[in-house]
Amino acid sequence: MAPSEPTSSSRGGFLTHALLVAAKDLRVEWRSREIVYTMVFFAVLVVVIFSFAFARRGQPMHEVAGGILWVVVAFAGTLGLGRFFDRERETQQALLLSPVSRAAIYVGKLLGMLIFICATEAVVLPMLMLLFNLHATHVGLLAGILTLGSIGFSAVGSLFGASLMQSRSRDVLLGILLFPIVTPVIIAGAKGTAALLAIDPDPAGAVVWLKLLAVFDLVFVSLSLWAFEPLTRNE
Amino acid sequence: MSKIPKVTLKEVRKVFGRQPALAGVSFELTPDRISLLMGPNGAGKSTLLGILSTLSPPTSGQVLYGEKDHRSAERELRGRIGLLSHNAMLYDRMTCRENLMFFARLHGVDRPAEHVARWLEQVQMTDAADKVVGQLSRGMLQRLALARVLLPDPDLLLLDEPFTGLDRDAVALLRRALQGMRQAGKITLVVTHDVEAVDGLCDHLLVLKHGHLAHELAQSDLRSSQIQEHYHGAI
């Protein structure tokens, strides 16, 4: 019954293991497409509703576009997070019993969630620009704000998503725990995006918000790397 | 840490809220024998498996893996413990081969493709290798789960109701796997109510009742009638 014994070692570094977990999540999503489709569908619907709600004398209100984008990221992201970690509920123990560092598992989950959020943004942003008649002049800076904001949201979301996996009321708790902590990200993202999408763009103002997002990411990714292991332990 | 020479539980207690699940359990698991853990529902069997797998720490007491305490050995033990639970811990949207490849890579198994092919053959799943796990029958799922658990060559094997849903061939396959583990000097603990399936297989019987070890018996090749007799005598 025992084929030649495999040589098990902790081969492969931290990044290899993180990429392995992320690649697995992407493969599963590629087969089902349920998370990204749900997130995009919800996001598109919200943008269309807001484009009608925020109109003055038949003209869209440019200044609210940044806020709409980040409200969409927050809600569509939470929707995706719930399902993303629900998939791992049955396999979590096998994953945690592997000799891989828990931090690598966390980074893998963060990367997977980040890709789903970026895919949603890639659909929603052009649509928002079209419906609100916006022009992006500082594309690099805008991409930086979107990426850093998405990292911040995914970092905190992945931590709570994983720690609430076995909780019966995880759908309710996820929102309650996540939103107060990611509020600075949403505010910084909305203000930075609004500064760049304004009729008279303010790149210097956007850089300030970008730096704030970078600091937030640094603090929360570091804290999550440390907290992931105790929070995923079944006490 | 070299191979786990034995596992010793000393006055292990586990309390959930105010509810004690285990109330001071002490016993020893040694290689070269298959231990059988029995008990009525709510006796603490699954809690005990959670503690032995290091996924859930005891509230008090000590679990020694060789000479090392569960707290100090936890990281070293990851990848050395195989847990087969009620659920198969496999990804529904991935094929059998992809699932095993994923776990083989996580465990750092050398030449993973080769080992996965051998294990698929061992559990008679070669023909279904490229089938999506979600399409498998309960019996096939359990065979694949067995391959997932045995592929990294664990030192300690914990099986929770492993015979559920298995046909005769699969039961024989699992029995051969357990005998193989015993011959290889691995520590094996089986939780089951299916005494016919373990007839003449186990050498050590543990009966849990209300979180206490109600009975312990060490005897080679325990027959199902003997198991029944001792079990009913204990509860």
Within a domain: A3: no
B180 → closest Cβ in A1, A90, A96: A1
Tell me if B108 and A90 make a contact (CB, 8 A cut-off).
no
Residue A28: pLDDT over 70: yes
Query: ∠A188-A191-A192 over CA atoms, to 5°?
Result: 80
The predicted pLDDT at position A9 comes to 47
High-pLDDT (> 90) share of chain B, %:
78
- Chain B hits for A91, Cβ within 8 Å: 89-91
Of A5, A24, A233, the CB nearest to B57: A233
Which chain B residue shows the shortest CA-CA distance from A234? B56
Is the ipTM here above 0.85? yes
pLDDT tens digits along A40-53: 999 999 999 999 89
Contact flag A1-B53 (C-beta cutoff 8 Å): no
Average pLDDT, stretch A89-112?
A: 94
Mean pLDDT of A117-122: 96
Residue A149 in any domain: the answer is: yes
Chain B segment 103-122 residues within 8 A of A by beta carbon are: 103-111, 115, 118-119, 121-122
What are the C-alpha distances in Å from A46 to residues A65, A134, A183, B167, B228? 12, 17, 19, 51, 63
Tokens representing B146?
């067995």
Residue in chain A lying closest to B87 (CA): A90
Give the number of domains in chain A.
1
Cβ of B91 and A11 within 8 Å? no
Express each pLDDT in B139-165 by its tens digit.
899 999 999 999 999 999 999 999 987
Lowest-confidence pick of A30-39, A71-80, A85-94:
A85-94
Q: Is the pLDDT of residue B86 over 90?
A: no
pLDDT digits (tens, 9 = 90+) for B175-222: 999 999 999 999 999 999 999 999 999 999 999 999 999 999 999 989
Enumerate the residues of chain B whose CB falls inside 8 A of the CB of residue A9.
108, 110
A41 lies in a domain?
A: yes
Of B85, B93, B109, the CB nearest to A6: B109
State how far the Cα of B210 lies from the Cα of B19, in Å rounded to an integer: 11
Is residue A11's pLDDT more than 80?
no
Per-residue confidence at A8, pLDDT binned at 50, 70, 90? very low
**Given B93, B108, B148, which is nearest A8 (Cβ)?**
B108
Q: Is the pLDDT of residue B81 over 80?
A: yes
The mean of the pLDDT values for chain A is 91
Give a yes or no: residue A8 inside a domain. Answer: no
Q: Which of A5, A8, A89, A95 to mutate to test the interface with B (most CBs of B within 10 A)?
A: A8
Q: What is the rounded average pLDDT of the residues A102-121? A: 96
Q: Say how far apart CA B130 and CA B116 lie, in whole Å.
A: 12
CB pairs under 8 A between A and B: 110
pLDDT at A1 over 70: no
* Facing A2 at nearest CB: one of B80, B88, B184: B184
d(CA B140, CA B177): 15
- Contacts with A112 from chain B: Cβ below 8 Å: none
B108 with A9: Cβ contact below 8 A:
yes
DSSP labels, chain A: ---S---B---S-HHHHHHHHHHHHHHHHHHH-HHHHHHHHHHHHHHHHHHHHSEETTEE-GGGHHHHHHHHHHHHHHHHHHHHHHTTTTTHHHHHTSSS-HHHHHHHHHHHHHHHHHHHHHHHHHHHHHHTT---S-HHHHHHHHHHHHHHHHHHHHHHHHHTTT-TTHHHHHHHHHHHHHHHHHHHHHHHHHHHHSSS--HHHHHHHHHHHHHHHHHHHHHHHHHHHHHHS--
Domain at B1-80+156-163+187-235, CATH homologous superfamily: P-loop containing nucleotide triphosphate hydrolases (3.40.50.300)
Chain A touched by B179 (CB under 8 Å): yes
Using the structure block, give the residue that is written with the tokens 């008990």: B39
Q: Measured between CB atoms, does B87 come within 8 Å of chain A? A: yes
Structural domain boundaries, residue A27: 14-232
Interfacial B residues in 192-231 facing A (CB < 8 Å): none
Which residues in chain A have Cβ-Cβ distances shorter than 8 Å to B106? 17, 20, 95, 98-100
- Residues of chain B with Cβ-Cβ distance to A93 below 8 Å are 53, 55, 83, 85, 89
A31–B105 C-beta distance less than 8 A: no
What pLDDT is attached to residue A66?
Answer: 92
pLDDT at A7 over 50: no
pLDDT given for residue B78 in this prediction: 86
pLDDT at residue B134 in the model: 95
Asked if residue A3 has pLDDT above 60, the reply is no
Residue of B nearest to A235 (CA): B56
The confidence band for A191, taking pLDDT boundaries of 50, 70 and 90, is very high
Question: Does position A4 have pLDDT exceeding 50, yes or no?
Answer: no
Residue A5 lies in a domain: no
Predicted pLDDT of residue A235: 64
> How far is residue B125's CA from residue B147's CA, in Å, rounded to a whole number?
10
Indicate yes or no: CB of A99 within 8 angstroms of CB of B106. Answer: yes
Tell me the per-residue pLDDT of B95-106, one tens digit each, with 9 for 90 and over: 999 999 999 999
B179/A1 touch (CB, cutoff 8 Å), yes or no = yes
Is the Cβ–Cβ distance between B167 and B139 less than 8 Å? yes
CB pair distance less than 8 Å for A20 and B93: no
Q: What percent of chain A has pLDDT over 70?
A: 94
Q: Check if the beta carbon of residue B95 is closer than 8 Å to that of residue B101.
A: no
* Predicted confidence band of residue A12 (pLDDT cuts 50, 70, 90): low
Give the pLDDT confidence score for residue A116 in this predicted structure.
97
